[in-house]
Amino acid sequence: MPNDFSFEMLTNYLLVGATLMALGMLGFLSRRNLIVMFLSAEMMLQGVALTLVGFGRYHGNWTGQVFTIVILTVAACEASIALALILILFNRRSSLDVSLWQEIREPGQPAIVEPESQAEPELAVAGPESYPHLLTAGIEPPHPTGAWSNRRD
Amino acid sequence: MDTLSRFDLINLVFTIVTGCCGVYLLLPHSHGRAKPILAHRIGYVFSSLSLISLFLFCRTTNVEFVTKAFFYIFAVASVACAILTITSRDPIHSALWFAAVVLATSGLFLLSGAQFLAAGTVIVYAGAIIVTFLFVIMLAQKEGRAIYDRMARAPFLATLASFLLLFGLLLALLGMRGQPVMGSGESKNITYPHRVVSAAERLRTRNQLSSKQILVLTRSLPASSELPESRLQNPDAAPLASGNHVASLGWTLYTEHLVTIELAGALLFAALIGALAIATPRAPVRPTMGIVVNAQPAEAKVS
């Protein structure tokens, strides 16, 4: 293990941590699927963990790693409870959309309604008509004449 | 900010602008009359440009080649997979790309000498949390592609806000480059902790104080033994670069951070009970249930 964790290397780690944090925030703010929102929150936690480990290694003590273990624990607890809540919410409305739960907004604010024209058009996936047509090969086996239940053996 | 060179500033603005455009194009929303595939391709191009210019900021001068190569591999992989996580249309793809982010991050942990944490992150995050996510996606999915997966909420404003945050963070981090460097925790035999020495150096160079004035200033600070620098002063503490990593980490956890461990255990316990209580919403069985008043004899039903 190299013993030289220079200040430049620490800056590199902090840059990556900051990028993960900002991207996680972007995913949390813009996606509507509850699961993807929560994944983005977990990504923010990863960015913070990277920052902590970098600082811990730079200053030569264990505090960074200890607190990253705590972050790991907190993320696991948060995942279990949040996913249980997401399941409950799905059971109520049969949808993972977060904009269905707008009645908890502030009293004076209008609900955010997004028109469906804003959705990206779905890419058409080729169906069975595009599967390759295989020619028959080999000797055709003898077809049974009666039902399978009255076998002749 | 006074030490940000012109190249750094231009590169920073280029990174933010191309990243903003790229991620905006990749987020799922309608692009007017343009085809989505074209928008995705342009988005990927812009995001790659932004990634390359972001990693031009990383300086690895006194590092051997293998470390440098692995750092770049893991760092680029983590940021690229992060972009793919937040812009995937299918939540299962998002979960799998997030697993890749976790693997790359644990590689970075391994590079900085946190071996237990690397293994622990892979096991707990990629092994338990993401598998739980996939199970919940299995239990809570609609038939086919849902419309809310193809519609991002206010994509322009969200991208703008997040990249403004990233701009601020990168500006602050890059502005720290030219500062006199505080030493890492390698040296021993010092009377004052490093941060005091370097602060004194900075005072001297910036304000042109004489060394006598520095001595007066530093004498008024608490003595080094009272400052909470556990590694540099305490010879009994387990060093970071010792042979047995897990034993040293365990020693530190259970002596200096015992309360943290206990709190984390209590949190896990509470979360366990909470998740069980939330996720099984059966109606509670009251003692009066099942006793019917004015009922027909139940012997016919029992037999």
Domain of residue B104 covers 6-175
Classify residue B294: in a domain, yes or no. no
What pLDDT was estimated at residue B3?
67
With an 8 Å Cβ cutoff, is A32 touching chain B?
A: yes
Q: Into how many domains does chain A fold?
A: 1
Q: List, as ranges, residues 113-142 from A with C-beta within 8 Å of B.
A: 114, 116-123
B291, part of any domain: no
CATH code for the domain of B96: 1.20.120.1200
Q: Domains in chain B: how many in total? A: 2
Residue A53, CA distances (Å) to A17, A49, A64, B4, B80 in order: 10, 6, 5, 26, 21
Residues of A in contact with B101 (CB under 8 A): 20, 43, 46
Q: How far apart are the first and last CA of chain A?
A: 73
Which of A8, A14, A19 best probes binding to B when mutated, by most B CB atoms within 10 angstroms?
A19
Nearest CA in chain A to B174: A11
State pLDDT tens for residues B231-280. Answer: 444 445 556 666 788 999 999 999 999 999 999 999 999 999 999 888 77
In a domain, B40, yes or no: yes
User: Are residues B11 and B133 both part of a single domain?
Assistant: yes
B155 shares its domain with B188: no
Q: Which domain holds residue A90?
A: 7-100
Neighbours of B1 (CB within 10 A): 9
Residue B81 is assigned to a structural domain of this protein:
yes
In a domain, A59, yes or no: yes
B218 and B110 part of one domain: no
| Dihedral (CA of A104, B134, B274, A66) sign | negative
Pick the residue from chain A with its C-alpha nearest to B28. Answer: A120
Q: Is there a single domain that holds both residue B153 and residue B215?
A: no
Residues of A in contact with B279 (CB under 8 A): 84, 87-88
More confident residue, B204 or B287: B287
Query: Which CATH number belongs to the domain containing residue A86 in this structure?
Result: 1.10.287.3510
Q: Look at residue B262 and tell me if it is in a domain.
A: no
Kindly report, residue by residue over B126-170, the tens digit of the pLDDT: 999 999 999 999 888 777 778 888 888 889 999 999 999 999 999
Residue A142, domain member (yes or no): no
Q: What is the mean pLDDT of chain B?
A: 80
Q: Do A85 and B278 touch (CB under 8 A)?
A: yes
